[in-house]
């Protein structure tokens, strides 16, 4: 069964069980500064998991493309990718553990056709220190599910992954209790790092068994589900949000409990074809076959290079299809890095010619069922990424010339010099070493240590420079950050009223210390203009306007209420609209609008009255990119 079929079956299955299908969020969220990219299916839904009503109701499902660049160094093994597709379903205070577990098991075994004998699960062992009991309920539901299909399912305690590697598993054991490092979900990770005020809870992970012969006991220890070995692969995780962390650090049960399910489409597809290698699924294998054809080399002997190319160009296509272009900043830099790493690996395979024109059309065809904008963007994506390919090949030529100059000056090159080649010209260490060998140039005895030292120094500089970036917004629900979120709405309204009604928000980044707001305009704002904007925001704060919200049909929100909002086509049919001013979102739609100073489609959260914000002060106005300016401001 191919991946596109599994995606469709999942969404159809969820509809039959009462879920509304919501459109996937963009990989780059214009108004969500929490991360560079959408990193999970639940990320765009966080306000609703925190308690805000969703316009589409209490049962939701989608298939969400996601990107996690923290996995980039792991790409090359059989199961890690930087971009992946997360099948998700949610219950917002509706059904809970039994319905979720039974439905997911039915989907895997009846819809996808997985052998139930190869399915293993884990549950939370509990934590006495914080008064969180063992999740016996989930374990016993799983036991009954297996018993219904005639499978013995013993429940056993493992504890930690290290204990699992020592103990292994025995015949008949199928349900395993692990500690909070494996089976507890919070935005902070484990129990101790659960943020105050956040929903959290135990999770139950589902694994597929690819056979005992896949386990590397010498490297990973004895077989058990949470092992890093190749026998078991996690294919889905059911988070049961039933607790909240209180201000004093304790935990209490939520009145309304949520289910947050995420299942990796690539991994489920790999299980469906019985291969631990996710690069053999229908979304990726055509790319691998094309690389074999172009390089005249086989996949088995060049897995790292071909996997990296397939993964990185898939991610690059999906980013470029949303209008992102390679650059040296933030998301644009990540796109540039994906394309350039793919080009370098192509060179390793002996593919020296421009090759994106051969690969990108395959990706477009593979993902044509994901959204309506994949195929129509083919020409645009090819043009943008080919331009980057050509520029990088010129950069590599410059790096080669610089290496030749260095070798002419000295017959021994240091690690610092090799790092300069990478940092300045994008000339990777491996390529420098190879070319130095060809030129007959010696390298210092400890060039690798010198290179790593220079690299680490740069990382520390980058951390210092970017401290606080992409950490605000909904990743931090402190009172201060919520205030800045509301201030962003007022700032946009003030810019539209005082400067130009055509101004739109092009991005934001919030921390508890300040807001950063990007907007489209073709000139630098004067001191007088900035003062007008600042004064307007403070006047609205002093007026102590109410901040309220209501749900509307999307077209009504845009066309009648004229609400601000990005990515109109990606919003669901029902949207949440926040209004600031007199008259309010609690009024009838026909009267809403009178006296309002701001109206936006937004997921929240916000303060309830503008008077809580304090004094608004613009600290800086600067260029962000072509046609986009940036304001940095604080609340005093």
If we measure between CA atoms, which residue out of 577, 586, 581 comes closest to residue 545? 581
Q: Locate the DSSP E strands across 163-209.
A: 173-178, 184-185, 199-209
What is the predicted pLDDT for the residue at 587?
42
220-229, 391-400, 526-535, 563-572: which is most confident: 526-535
Average pLDDT over every residue of 426-447: 83
Burial class (CB in 10 A: 0-12, 13-18, 19+), 460: exposed
If we measure between CA atoms, which residue out of 245, 240, 244, 237 comes closest to residue 258? 240
Average pLDDT over every residue of 29-52: 73
- Helix (H) or strand (E) run with residue 443 in it: strand 442-443
pLDDT tens per residue across span 61-89: 999 998 888 778 788 888 889 989 999 99
359, 289 contact by CB (below 8 A): no
Question: Roughly how many angstroms between the first and final C-alpha of the chain, as a whole number?
Answer: 58
List CB contacts of 293: < 8 A, sequence separation 6 or more: none
What is the predicted pLDDT for the residue at 17?
97
Average pLDDT over every residue of 392-412: 85
Q: Count of CB atoms within 10 A of residue 595's CB?
A: 11
* More reliable by pLDDT, 433 or 537: 537
Domain boundaries 3-280, corresponding CATH code: 3.30.930.10
pLDDT tens per residue across span 162-201: 999 999 999 999 999 999 999 999 877 889 888 888 889 9
What is the predicted pLDDT for the residue at 461?
63
Residue 454 Cα distances to 414, 423, 425, 441, 457, angstroms? 11, 10, 15, 21, 5
- Ranges of H-type helices in 467-594: 479-498, 527-542, 554-559
pLDDT at position 29 over 90: no
Q: Tell me the C-alpha distance between 220 and 351, whole Å.
A: 36
Strands 251-264 and 232-245: what pairing?
Answer: antiparallel
Domain boundaries 473-635, corresponding CATH code: 3.30.980.10
Crossing angle (nearest 10°) for helices 136-148 and 97-106: 40
What is the predicted pLDDT for the residue at 465?
40
pLDDT tens per residue across span 364-394: 999 888 877 777 788 889 999 999 998 888 8
If we measure between CA atoms, which residue out of 152, 280, 167 comes closest to residue 225? 167
pLDDT at position 46 over 90: no
If we measure between CA atoms, which residue out of 181, 182, 172 comes closest to residue 120? 172
Q: Tell me the C-alpha distance between 478 and 195, whole Å.
A: 10
For 73-99, letters b (16+ CB in 10 Å) and e give: eebbbbbbbbbbbbbbbbbbbbbbbee
pLDDT at position 467 over 60: no
The conformation of residue 322, written as its DSSP 8-state character, comes to T
186, 194 contact by CB (below 8 A): yes
pTM: 0.74
Task: Out of 268-277, 291-300, 382-391, pick the least confident.
Answer: 382-391
Mean pLDDT over the full length of the chain? 87
If we measure between CA atoms, which residue out of 295, 337, 344, 345 comes closest to residue 316? 337
Strands 574-581 and 596-601: what pairing?
Answer: antiparallel
What is the predicted pLDDT for the residue at 468?
35
- Ranges of H-type helices in 149-232: 161-167, 180-183, 217-220
Crossing angle (nearest 10°) for helices 356-366 and 285-295: 160
Task: Out of 471-480, 514-523, 550-559, 568-577, pick the least confident.
Answer: 471-480
Q: Tell me the C-alpha distance between 242 and 396, whole Å.
A: 53
If we measure between CA atoms, which residue out of 357, 315, 310, 351 comes closest to residue 335? 315
Average pLDDT over every residue of 446-458: 87
Q: Tell me the C-alpha distance between 56 and 75, whole Å.
A: 37
Average pLDDT over every residue of 453-481: 58
* More reliable by pLDDT, 145 or 608: 145
360, 383 contact by CB (below 8 A): no
Banded pLDDT at 411 (limits 50, 70, 90): confident
Q: pLDDT above 90 covers what percent of the chain?
A: 52
- Express the helix, strand and coil content of the chain in percent, nearest 5 each: 45, 20, 35
pLDDT tens per residue across span 95-105: 999 999 999 99
Task: Out of 131-140, 483-492, 547-556, 576-585, pick the least confident.
Answer: 576-585
What is the predicted pLDDT for the residue at 298?
96
236, 262 contact by CB (below 8 A): yes
């Amino acid at each position: 069964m191919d991946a596109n079929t599994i995606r469709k079956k999942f969404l159809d299955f969820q509809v039959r069980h009462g879920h509304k299908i919501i459109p996937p969020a963009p990989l780059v969220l214009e108004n969500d500064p929490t991360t560079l990219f959408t990193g999970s299916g639940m990320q765009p839904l966080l306000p609703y998991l925190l308690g805000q009503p969703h316009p589409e109701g209490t049962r939701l499902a989608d298939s969400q493309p996601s990107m996690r660049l923290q996995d980039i160094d792991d790409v090359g093994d059989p199961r890690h990718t930087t971009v992946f597709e997360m099948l998700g379903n949610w219950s917002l205070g509706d059904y809970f553990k039994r319905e979720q577990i039974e439905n997911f098991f039915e989907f895997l075994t009846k819809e996808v056709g997985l052998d139930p004998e190869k399915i293993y699960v884990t549950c939370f062992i509990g934590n006495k220190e914080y008064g969180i009991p063992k999740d016996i309920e989930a374990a016993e539901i799983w036991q009954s599910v297996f018993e219904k299909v005639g499978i013995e399912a013993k429940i056993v305690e493992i504890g930690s992954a290290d204990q699992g590697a020592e103990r292994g598993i025995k015949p008949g054991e199928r349900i395993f209790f692990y500690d909070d490092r494996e089976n507890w979900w919070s935005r902070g990770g484990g129990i101790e790092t659960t943020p105050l005020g956040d929903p959290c809870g135990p999770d139950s992970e589902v694994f597929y068994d690819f056979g005992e012969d896949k386990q590397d006991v010498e490297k990973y220890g004895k077989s058990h589900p949470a092992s890093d070995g190749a026998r078991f692969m996690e294919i889905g995780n059911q988070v049961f949000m039933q607790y909240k962390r209180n201000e004093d650090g304790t935990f209490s049960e939520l009145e309304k409990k949520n289910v947050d399910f995420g299942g990796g489409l690539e991994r489920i597809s790999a299980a469906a074809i019985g291969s631990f290698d996710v690069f053999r699924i229908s979304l990726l294998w055509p790319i691998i076959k094309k690389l074999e054809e172009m390089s005249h080399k086989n996949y088995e002997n060049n897995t790292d290079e071909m996997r990296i190319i397939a993964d990185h160009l898939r991610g690059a296509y999906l980013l470029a299809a949303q209008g992102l272009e390679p650059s040296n900043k933030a998301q644009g830099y990540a796109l540039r890095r994906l394309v350039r790493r793919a080009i370098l690996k192509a060179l390793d395979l002996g593919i020296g010619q421009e090759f994106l024109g051969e690969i990108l059309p395959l990706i477009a065809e593979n993902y044509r069922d994901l959204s309506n904008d994949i195929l129509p963007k083919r020409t645009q994506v090819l043009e943008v990424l080919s331009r980057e390919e050509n520029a990088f090949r010129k950069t590599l030529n410059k790096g080669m010339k610089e290496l030749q100059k260095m070798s002419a000056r000295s017959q021994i090159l240091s690690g610092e010099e090799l790092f300069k080649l990478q940092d300045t010209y994008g000339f990777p260490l491996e390529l420098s070493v190879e070319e130095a060998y060809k030129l007959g140039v010696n390298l210092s005895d400890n060039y690798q240590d010198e290179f790593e030292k220079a690299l680490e120094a740069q990382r520390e500089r980058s951390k210092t420079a970017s401290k606080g970036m992409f950490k605000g917004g909904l990743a931090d629900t402190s009172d201060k950050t919520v205030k800045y979120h509301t201030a962003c709405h007022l700032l946009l309204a003030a810019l539209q009223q005082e400067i130009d009604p055509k101004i739109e928000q092009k991005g934001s980044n919030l921390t508890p210390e300040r807001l950063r707001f990007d907007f489209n305009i073709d000139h630098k704002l004067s001191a007088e203009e900035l003062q007008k904007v600042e004064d307007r925001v403070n006047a609205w704060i002093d007026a102590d306007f109410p901040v309220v919200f209501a749900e509307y049909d999307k077209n009504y929100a845009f066309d009648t209420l004229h609400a601000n909002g990005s990515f109109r086509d990606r919003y669901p049919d029902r949207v949440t609209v926040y209004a600031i001013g007199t008259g309010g979102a609690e009024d009838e739609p026909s009267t809403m609008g009178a006296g309002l100073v701001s109206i936006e489609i937004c997921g929240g959260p916000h303060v309830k009255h503008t008077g809580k914000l304090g004094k608004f002060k613009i600290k800086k106005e600067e260029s962000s990119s072509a046609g986009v300016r940036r304001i940095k401001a604080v609340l005093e």
